[in-house]
Amino acid sequence: MSVITIERKLLEKNDERAKQNRELFLKNNIFVINIISSPGSGKTSVLEKSLEYFNGKISVSVIEGDVQTDCDAQRIARYQVPVVQIVTRGGCHLEANLIAEASKNISLETTDVLVIENVGNLVCPAAYDLGEAMKIVVVSVTEGEDKPLKYPAIFRNASVLLINKTDLLPHLHFDLNVLKKNALSINPKLVMFETSCVNNTGISAWCEWLRSNIVKQ
Amino acid sequence: MHELSLAQNIVEIIHQHVAENDLPDVVSVKILVGECSGIVAESLAFSFSALVNETLLRNARLIIQKNPFAVYCNTCKQKSSNEWGMNLCVWCGSTDCEILSGTEMHIVEIAMNETANEIV
């Protein structure tokens, strides 16, 4: 019996492709965000409200990832922004090679911000670098305060937490401070915004923060 | 569910390594998986065994070595560990910590049966 040491990352192929994506995006001066949440937390709604807020002042392109259907791409197309739908047909997350392919259908020269809306899933997408500048995690207040503790990987890897559906707070036994405390216990550097897509609370704060980070890049 | 995708990556990397180096029968593949890497070890092992069936790696067993989650505290300069993946020093309670281990996932080594070569 002989043993050979092989120090290789399990995700080396994805990481290499993500690196190429990142180089391509940087070369074209595109700020890329990868939005991740459970199904139904409001990723698409937050994106719609953000597009409304920017109202064409920032050139946004969108890659939608879903297990099935192009419902989200149809929703986004109403805002007159370029959108590409990736249908994974069962795949629980997006991978860097899918983004590389989808990016070919986007005009990189005219895009300031590329939004990748990942498949609704708090587990698997956390592990896959797509070449984004930052991951954004969305949690809605109906999901409970314990989500950061139950799904730490995505909270560890994200830069921003959007706490969504805050208009429902009066109807819930939900403690916003406990959610924040739990999130910060996993990642003390998380930037947090409270948002509602029903009454538009927090959308401008989130969008202005995003805009300031585009400038920084 | 991404364990299947990860298992495919392991199989591809090992196949490539075996082919490039003309290696004999692989009997085990050892990987290091952080306890907070989001991997279900049993699912990964199951996916691996299903994928290697009828391939060069059909005799290979996947050995999954788990690595505990550990942080280094920038405040009290001590290392500590917690099973929940919290960015928290258990000694002084500071959250100003750097992650030392527990989120990794990589291949460590492969073992081969060289009986055939020894007989020759």
d(C-alpha A150, C-alpha B8), whole Å: 26
Q: What type of residue is A94?
A: L
pLDDT for the residue A116:
98
Report domain extents, chain B: 2-68+101-112
Structure tokens at A159: 């830069």
In B1-119 the beta strands, taken as DSSP E runs, fall at 26-34, 61-67, 70-73, 79-81, 97-101, 105-112
Q: Note the pLDDT tens digit of each residue in B72-107.
A: 999 999 999 998 899 999 999 999 999 999 999 999
Say what angle helices A12-27 and B3-21 make with each other, to 10 degrees. 100
Q: Note the pLDDT tens digit of each residue in B41-76.
A: 999 999 999 999 988 899 999 999 999 999 999 999
Please provide the CATH number assigned to the domain covering B2-68+101-112: 3.30.2320.50
pLDDT for the residue B119:
43
Q: How many CA atoms lie within 13 A of A19 on its CB side?
A: 6
pLDDT for the residue B118:
47
pLDDT for the residue B115:
64
pLDDT for the residue B120:
38
CA distance A200 to chain B (A): 32
Report the chain A residue with the minimal C-alpha distance to residue B36: A153
Number of neighbouring beta carbons within 10 Å of residue A181: 12
Residues of chain A falling short of pLDDT 50: none
d(C-alpha A95, C-alpha A77), whole Å: 23
pLDDT for the residue A90:
87
**Would you call A2 and B12 a contact, using CB atoms and an 8 Å cutoff?**
no
Interface contact B118, partner A, CB < 8 A: no
pLDDT for the residue A86:
95
Number of neighbouring beta carbons within 10 Å of residue A170: 7
Chain B contact set for A126 (CB, 8 A)? 38
**Would you call B109 and A184 a contact, using CB atoms and an 8 Å cutoff?**
no
**Would you call B38 and A3 a contact, using CB atoms and an 8 Å cutoff?**
no
Number of neighbouring beta carbons within 10 Å of residue A146: 11
- Could you tell me the pTM of the whole model? 0.91
Residue B1 pLDDT class (50, 70, 90 cuts): low
- Partner residue opposite A123 with nearest CB, options B10, B27, B38: B38
B23-43 burial, b if ≥16 CB within 10 A, otherwise e?
Answer: bebbbbbbbbbbbbbbbebee
d(C-alpha B55, C-alpha B5), whole Å: 17
Chain A contact set for B67 (CB, 8 A)? none
H or E element that contains B5 = helix B3-21
CA distance A104 to chain B (A): 24
